[in-house]
Amino acid sequence: MRNVSGCARLSQVSFPIILSEGERVNYFDVSILAVIQGLAELLPVSSSAHVIMTEKLLGLDPAAPDMTLLLVMLHTGTMFAVIVYFWNNWRETYFSSGRAFKKNVFLIILATAVTGVVGLTLMKLIKYFFAANADTFEIESLFSNSKIIASGLAAAGLLIILSSRLKEKDRGELSPLSAAGIGFVQGLCLPFRGFSRSGATISTGLSLGVARKRAEEFSFALAVVLTPAVIVKEGLRAFSSGSAGTVAVSSGVLLPSLVGMILSFVAGLLALRWLSRWLEHDRWHLFGGYCLCAAALIGWLG
């Protein structure tokens, strides 16, 4: 499961939990991954890029079956953080009247449908031209390459910076065209590690003239719709491996995964508060600067 590295040796000092013969996971690894997942999943800096690089530094094999439950629980923790953080705002926006509810549900369905069409089409094109005999999971693994991650981060950084140029007084309400545009860009994010979903969708909304708060709320409403699909996908990944059943019932992986879910939930709440403040106080472009710096570092290290 592990590649031996300095960080891996350090992590093995802390309370290992036996998964199966020869495999271990411990609270050090779980805590680091949970905090990074919670922060990077909800900040516009790409959780996949940060988690993949962290797994490499810790010597973890992200394709190992015993990592699947942990990743599912971390995604679940961040999803609940989004629901808790935005619930009051969504209640005011989506449930203020029957008309408002129908309008916003339509916009979410529209954006999600566009995302599905674009994402699936893009995956089919990638499979046709670059990986004809590969399955979906093998195609996704191609995008864990450091150079591709760096390119995705750079693209997200540029989009974030460019979207900051329009003043708030010139922004308005979310239209069906804007929702479709946000869904289109979200579809482009699906296969590409490093191309932050939240960064891309919020920035697209800002670029299309949507008010900051509205763009933020809508982006994370889409995340709540999309996250269960990600969880199901990770579950299918587990059951596609021979040892998935062992991992699923192991108390050795369940307990640290629960701890990880709680930590990712707390980190997610902090990340959302941070994002909202910077978005409201004209600091959105700073996230873009971070993405560009991270892209340069990963490209250099890779």
What's the whole-number average pLDDT of the chain? Answer: 82
Cβ of 5: how many Cβ atoms within 10 Å? 14
Q: Are 108 and 222 in contact (CB under 8 A)?
A: yes
- Mean pLDDT score, 129-156: 77
Residue 302 has pLDDT above 70, yes or no: no
Residue 193 has pLDDT above 60, yes or no: yes
Considering only residues 195 and 12, tell me which one the structure prediction assigns the higher pLDDT.
195
- Tell me, what's the pLDDT at 134? 65
pLDDT tens, 17-56?
334 433 456 888 899 999 999 999 999 998 888 888 888 8
- Mean pLDDT score, 165-190: 87
Q: For residues 171 and 210, what is the distance between their CA atoms, to the nearest angstrom? A: 5
- Tell me, what's the pLDDT at 241? 55
**Sequence-distant (≥ 6) Cβ neighbours of residue 11 within 8 angstroms:** 26, 28, 29, 32, 58, 59
Instruction: Tell me which of 79-83, 94-98, 130-134 is least confident.
Output: 130-134
Q: For residues 238 and 167, what is the distance between their CA atoms, to the nearest angstrom? A: 46
- With the C-alpha atoms ordered 103, 105, 108, 113, is the resulting torsion angle positive or negative? negative
- Tell me, what's the pLDDT at 38? 94
Considering only residues 13 and 132, tell me which one the structure prediction assigns the higher pLDDT.
132
Report percent pLDDT > 70 for the chain. Answer: 78
Residue 115 has pLDDT above 90, yes or no: yes
Output the six-digit token pair for 147.
């150079």
In which band, very low, low, confident or very high, does the pLDDT at 248 lie, cut at 50, 70 and 90?
very low
pLDDT tens, 288-297?
999 999 999 9
pLDDT tens, 49-76?
888 888 888 888 776 666 777 888 898 9
In which band, very low, low, confident or very high, does the pLDDT at 154 lie, cut at 50, 70 and 90?
very high
In which band, very low, low, confident or very high, does the pLDDT at 93 lie, cut at 50, 70 and 90?
confident
CA 182 to chain centre: 16
- Which stretch, 142-151, 168-177, 278-287, has highest mean pLDDT? 278-287
